[in-house]
C-alpha cells in the first residue's frame, strides 16, 4: 500500500481532517469526540493564531481515504520564554501503521527545520489551555472533555520514531462526597482567620469585566512558575477564554477566595462532566447535541476538577485548605459523587493533596520529545 501526505488548504479538507478521528474511534466506547464547530474555530480563528504559525497535513491511502493527520505549531512566545527552538505537534491521529506515522511526523519535522526549529514535542496545543499529553495508562476510562484519548499503539509508534519522554501528567478519580479530613478543616479555619480571608461569588464575578480580567491575571500569575511549559495568556486570549469557559462555571461546584481588601487570591474551578453528552452529540450541536449538553450541565454526579491555584504571594500559606474544604462541602449539597482531577505534572508536589481523599489512579498522559535531524 502506498500513502501520500497532502496539506490541508481548503474547507473541504479541513472537515475531513476534523472528522477523521470520528471514524478511527467509531467502535471505541471511551473516545469523546470534540464538537466540529469548536475544532474549526481552534484551527482557523482562535486568537492564538495571531502570533503562532500552524500547518496541517493528512495522510491518504491509494483509495484517497484519510488514514492519519497531524498539525504542527510554532509558538514564538514559548520558545522565547524557555530559550528553545521547538515545534509542537497536535491533532495527531493515525491508523496502526508505522509508515503512515513516519510520513506525517517527517513532514512536520521538515517544515519545522525550514523554520529554524531543532526539536519537536507533543501532543500539545498552541498554549497551555488546550488538550495535551498522549495517553499511556487508563485506556479503559473515559477522559474529561478537555483531555485527549488515543489507542495504546500510538506510544509504540512514538518509540519507533525515536521520541522519548519529556514529561508525564497524572490524573486521579476521587470520591467527592466524603468531605475533607478534620485536620484539613481545622487548618482551613486557622488560615482563614489568620489572614482575614473570605469566600467570594463566581456568579457575581462573571458579571464584572474588571473582575473577570483580574481572575485570569491571577491564573497567569499562579502558574507562571509552577506549571511545566506554561505560557501566560495574552489580553486577547483572556477575553476569548472568558467568553468560552466562564458560562460553564458557577458557585455550585467552584470557589474563589478574597483577602480583606477584596483582592482575588485563590480559586478552585470544577465543571459538571460533559464527556458522555459529547459522545451522544457525535461532534454535532444539532439536531440533538445541544440537548445532551444542556442536560449534562445540570448533572453534578461526576465533575471534572479543572484548575486551582493561588497568586504567588499567597502560595505555601495553606490557603488551598480553604477552597478544598469549601468545594468538598458544596459537592455534598449538589450530589457530586466522584471527581476527575485535571492532569498535573508528576513532579509537582501539589498532587499530594489527593492523598487526603479516597482516590485511585485514573489516567497518565505523556509529552514526547525528539531532536530534529
**Which CATH number fits the domain that encloses residue 256?**
3.40.630
Q: Are residues 98 and 80 in the same domain?
A: yes
pLDDT of residue 353: 67
Q: Are residues 107 and 222 in the same domain?
A: no
Q: Are residues 231 and 153 in the same domain?
A: no
Q: Are residues 146 and 190 in the same domain?
A: no
* DSSP SS3 for 252: coil
Query: What is the rounded CA–CA span in Å between residue 351 and residue 344?
Result: 7
Q: Are residues 14 and 136 in the same domain?
A: yes
Taken as a whole, the chain contains a residue count of 373
Residues 209-226 pLDDT 10s: 888 888 888 889 888 877
For the chain, give the mean pLDDT.
93
pLDDT band, very low/low/confident/very high, at 361 (cuts 50, 70, 90) = very high
Query: What is the rounded CA–CA span in Å between residue 91 and residue 86?
Result: 17
Residue 73, beta-bridge partner list: 54, 88
Residue 351 has pLDDT above 70, yes or no: no
Range of the domain at 22: 4-167
Crossing angle between the packed helical segments 320-334 and 182-195, to the nearest 10 degrees: 120
DSSP string covering 83-103? T--EEEEEEEEE-S-HHHHHH
Residue 350 has pLDDT above 80, yes or no: no
Q: Are residues 70 and 108 in the same domain?
A: yes
Cβ-contact 126, 48 below 8 angstroms: yes
The model carries a pTM of 0.94
Q: Are residues 142 and 291 in the same domain?
A: no
Q: Are residues 71 and 99 in the same domain?
A: yes
Query: What is the rounded CA–CA span in Å between residue 211 and residue 204?
Result: 9
Residues 280-291 pLDDT 10s: 999 999 999 999
* DSSP SS3 for 357: coil
The total of structural domains in the chain comes to 2
pLDDT band, very low/low/confident/very high, at 29 (cuts 50, 70, 90) = very high
Mean pLDDT across the stretch 194-202?
94
Q: Residue 72: which CATH number?
A: 3.40.630.30
Question: How far, in whole angstroms, is CA 90 from its chain's centroid?
Answer: 12
In degrees and rounded to multiples of 5, residue 90 shows phi and psi of: -155, -175
Residues 258-272 pLDDT 10s: 999 999 999 999 999
The contacts of residue 30 (CB under 8 Å, 6+ apart) are: 139, 140, 141, 142, 143, 149
Look at residue 356 and tell me if it is in a domain. Answer: no
Amino acid at each position: 500500500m502506498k500513502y501520500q501526505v497532502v496539506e490541508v488548504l481548503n474547507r473541504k479538507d479541513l472537515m475531513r481532517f476534523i472528522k477523521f478521528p470520528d471514524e478511527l474511534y467509531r467502535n471505541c466506547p471511551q473516545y469523546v469526540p470534540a464538537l466540529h464547530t469548536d475544532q474549526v474555530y481552534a484551527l482557523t480563528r482562535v486568537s492564538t493564531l495571531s502570533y503562532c504559525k500552524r500547518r496541517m497535513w493528512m495522510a491518504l491511502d491509494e483509495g484517497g481515504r484519510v488514514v492519519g493527520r497531524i498539525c504542527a505549531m510554532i509558538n514564538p512566545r514559548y520558545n522565547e520564554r524557555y530559550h528553545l527552538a521547538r515545534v509542537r505537534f497536535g491533532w495527531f491521529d493515525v491508523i496502526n501503521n508505522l509508515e503512515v506515522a513516519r510520513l506525517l511526523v517527517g513532514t512536520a519535522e521538515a517544515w519545522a527545520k525550514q523554520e529554524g526549529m531543532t526539536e519537536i514535542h507533543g501532543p500539545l496545543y498552541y498554549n497551555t489551555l488546550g488538550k495535551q499529553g498522549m495517553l499511556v495508562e487508563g485506556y479503559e476510562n473515559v477522559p474529561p472533555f478537555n483531555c485527549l484519548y488515543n489507542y495504546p499503539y500510538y506510544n509504540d509508534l512514538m518509540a519507533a520514531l525515536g521520541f522519548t519522554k519529556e514529561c508525564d501528567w497524572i490524573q486521579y478519580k476521587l470520591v467527592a462526597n466524603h468531605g475533607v479530613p478534620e485536620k484539613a478543616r481545622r487548618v482551613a479555619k486557622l488560615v482563614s482567620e489568620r489572614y482575614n480571608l473570605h469566600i467570594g461569588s463566581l456568579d457575581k464575578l462573571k458579571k464584572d469585566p474588571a473582575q473577570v480580567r483580574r481572575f485570569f491575571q491571577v491564573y497567569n500569575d499562579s502558574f507562571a512558575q509552577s506549571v511545566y511549559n506554561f505560557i501566560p495568556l495574552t489580553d486577547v486570549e483572556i477575553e476569548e477564554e472568558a467568553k468560552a469557559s466562564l458560562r460553564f462555571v458557577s458557585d455550585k461546584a467552584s470557589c474563589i477566595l478574597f483577602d480583606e481588601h477584596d483582592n482575588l487570591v485563590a480559586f478552585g474551578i470544577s465543571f459538571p462532566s460533559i464527556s458522555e453528552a459529547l459522545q451522544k452529540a457525535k461532534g454535532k450541536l444539532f439536531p440533538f447535541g445541544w440537548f445532551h449538553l444542556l442536560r449534562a450541565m445540570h448533572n453534578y454526579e461526576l465533575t471534572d476538577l479543572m484548575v486551582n491555584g493561588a497568586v504567588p504571594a499567597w502560595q505555601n500559606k495553606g490557603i488551598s485548605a480553604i477552597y478544598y474544604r469549601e468545594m468538598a462541602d458544596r459537592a455534598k449539597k449538589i450530589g457530586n459523587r466522584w471527581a476527575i482531577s485535571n492532569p498535573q505534572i508528576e513532579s509537582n508536589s501539589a498532587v499530594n493533596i489527593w492523598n487526603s481523599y479516597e482516590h485511585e489512579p485514573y489516567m497518565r498522559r505523556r509529552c514526547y520529545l525528539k531532536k530534529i535531524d
